[in-house]
Amino acid sequence: VIFDLLSWQAITPETLSLLQALSAAMNAQQNSLVVVSTLSDIPPDDPSLAVVPTLHEAEDYIRFEQMQRDLGL
């Protein structure tokens, strides 16, 4: 799943927390969630949330995670 937040001006702590929880739930089911954003409100080093700056990178990220799962890594 890709959440495109490029048009957002800011993100609330509640929304960020919801995205983190959703990401954890999806990862537990062997699925991917990627947020596309350049907002400084999202911590870049947050291990619970994959954040990339472009839609192309989000697609690449999901493909890479799927390859890792397919290889059992």
Give the pLDDT confidence of 29-58 residue by residue, as tens digits.
999 999 999 988 888 788 889 999 999 999
User: What percent of the chain has pLDDT above 70?
Assistant: 100
Where do we find the tokens 């409100």?
41
CB 61 within 8 A of CB 52: yes
pLDDT above 80 (res 73) = no
Of 20, 9, 15, 8, nearest in space to 50 by CA: 20
Q: How far apart are CA 38 and CA 8, in angstroms?
A: 9
Q: Assess contact for 32 and 61: CB atoms under 8 A.
A: yes
Q: Say if CB 32 and CB 60 are below 8 A apart.
A: no
Average pLDDT over residues 15-35: 93
